[in-house]
Every structure is written in structure tokens, then in C-alpha cells.
Amino acid sequence: MSHTSPYCVSRSGSTLTSVTYAMIRGLGALAFGLLAILGISSTGQATSDVDEMFDTLAQANRFVSVEPAGSRGAIGTTLGVGIVQTPIDQNPEIMDAQLNGDFGRRDGAGTVESQRIWVTKGILTPIDIGLTAGTLGRGNARQLGGSVQVTLVEGFRMPALAIRAAHLRIDGMDETAFTTTGAEILAAWGILGWVTPWIGLGANQHDGRIETGLSGDGGYLLTQNETTKDFTRKWTTAENTVGVIVALGSPFAQLALESRGNSLSGGSSEQRSVAVRLSLGI
């Protein structure tokens, strides 16, 4: 499968073409809008422990599509399995117990691992739809999300340019809600149809809520007259992506590697996640 196959958009003025252009403009506005508000400080910040929990969830909840720019066409379909690993600097004492999630670490820094499956399907227009699901850590946490990618430019011996919007949420954690919505601009260049490297730049909007009570491990976060408390935080982070996809003996079997990094709100450190995906498709 080549990610640089020619694709022409009809100018017939059909409803389908109008919808395609509208989606392109909408995704473009989302991407540039998010990039324009980078650096917004988080709101509703609580104690350092809660902030560290939010930051850890944000690092672990990247969409990580492991897909370059370029449309798959009407019959293009890919099914893949793999692992996403993210290093974690924070070590809040109540993280695992409060959220009912075993993040695979105890003292000091560690790694959060997400085992995922990916499905990508092309449609008639230069639009690809993606779904992903998986587990997060070794506890009860699960992840579910989707993406829409619009290819703006691609052609023979030309780089492909695309815009992607994605949404990913975490379920299965006690009294916790966390979602990440992002948009990015991607550029890829296929080499003889066997190797396709890509780069990307975008932004993620994180939205989290954690509830704690007197009986929980986070009870020490409450004031004297409080029995329960909701901690909320909504903030934006920048994101950069580097990846490569390689055909394994045939265009139908592929191995993809992707690395994503961002700078957390209020800090200068960058945590890069690394994803490995083995896939079959056309």
C-alpha cells in the first residue's frame, strides 16, 4: 500500500464535495484554533498531588494513531495491534488507589503502558476514519477513541499533507472522568511505497475531573468541613509527532513506529510516548 497515490477531488459541485470541503475547513479551523491558544494555564488547580494525577493522565491519554498523512481510498482498510509506552516522572502517593488503576510503578519514575488495537477505514472522499481501544496500565482503566483525517494534498512523487482531529477518553477509574481532544497537521513522504516517514504538529485539549471523599485515599485533600470534593482541570498542551511505517515483505503487512511529545502546562519537561504497531491491510 502506498500513501502517496494520486487523488483528485471533483469540481462538479456535488453535495459530497461540498461536505468534504466543509470538513477540511472545519478541521483546519480546529487545528489552528488549538495552536493559537497554546500556553493557557490550567484552571481549577488543586494540590500538587492532584495536579500530578491530571498530568499523568494527560501523558497516558494521547490518541497515537500511528498513521501518516495520505488517504487510503474507498477500499482501504487496516487492522493493527500494538503497545504505547509513556514515561512518567510524577509519583503521587494516592494515584493508583484513588483512581483504581495500577500504573506499573511504585517509587520514583516509571512507565505507563497501553495495549491497543487500531482500525482505519478510507471512504470515497480523501477522508480516513480511525478507531482505537485498549487497556491502560494493569488495573481497570480502559481507553476508547476515534479520529477523522482529511488529506489535503497528495500525488506521485509528492509529499502528502493532512489534517487530523481525534478524541480519546479513559473509563474504568473510580470517580474519575478524563478526555483528550486534539488536532494536528501531518506531512508524509512515501519512498517507493515501502517506507513512509512522517512528522506532525498539533495541540491537545485535556478535560479532567477527580472526586475524592473522607473514606478514600485522597481524604487528606479535604478541608475540615468537607466530606467530598471534585477537582477539575482543563488545559491545553502542544504536541509534536515523528513516525515511520515500513512494509514487511509485502504492502499488506506493515510495522509502524511513532513517537509523540508535548510540554505540560506550567512546566518545561517533555515526556515522549513511543508506539509500536503491527498491522494488516490494503
66 Rama sector, left if φ>0, alpha if ψ -120 to 50, beta otherwise: left
Rounded-to-integer distance, Cα 51 and Cα 57, Å: 10
Distance CA 213, CA 229 (A): 7
For residue 219, the surrounding DSSP H or E stretch is: none
Q: What distance in Å separates the CA atoms of residue 185 and residue 190, rounded to the nearest whole number?
A: 17
Per-residue confidence in pLDDT tens, the chain, 282 aa: 444 443 343 444 454 455 444 555 555 555 545 554 444 433 333 457 778 788 888 888 989 999 999 998 888 999 999 999 988 765 545 556 555 555 655 444 577 889 999 999 999 889 999 999 999 877 788 999 999 999 999 887 789 999 999 999 999 887 889 999 999 999 999 888 789 999 999 999 999 998 876 555 565 566 667 767 788 999 998 999 999 999 997 768 999 999 998 754 434 456 789 999 999 987
> Do residues 272 and 243 touch, judged by C-beta distance below 8 A?
no
CA gap 262, 201 in Å, rounded: 10
- Structural domains in the chain plus CATH codes: 15-281 (2.40.160.20)
The dihedral of CA 10, 13, 16, 19: what is its sign? Answer: positive
Place of cell 516522572: 89
pLDDT at residue number 249:
79
pTM score: 0.77
Per residue in 165-193, pLDDT (tens digit) is 999 999 988 788 999 999 999 999 988 87
**Is the Cβ–Cβ distance between 52 and 99 less than 8 Å?**
no
What is the DSSP-derived secondary structure letter of residue 248? S
Q: 84, 75 in Cβ contact below 8 A? A: no
Among 202, 64, 61, smallest CA distance to 53 is for 61
Grid cell, residue 230, equals 471534585
pLDDT tens, 237-247? 899 999 999 99
Contact 129, 65 (CB under 8 A): no
> What are the Cα distances from residue 132, in Å, to 7, 150, 171?
26, 18, 14
Task: Compute the residue count for the chain.
Answer: 282
Question: What is the percentage of the chain residues whose pLDDT exceeds 90?
Answer: 42
Query: Which pLDDT score is estimated for 228?
Result: 76
Residue 82 contacts residue 66 (beta carbons within 8 Å): yes
pLDDT of residue 43: 39
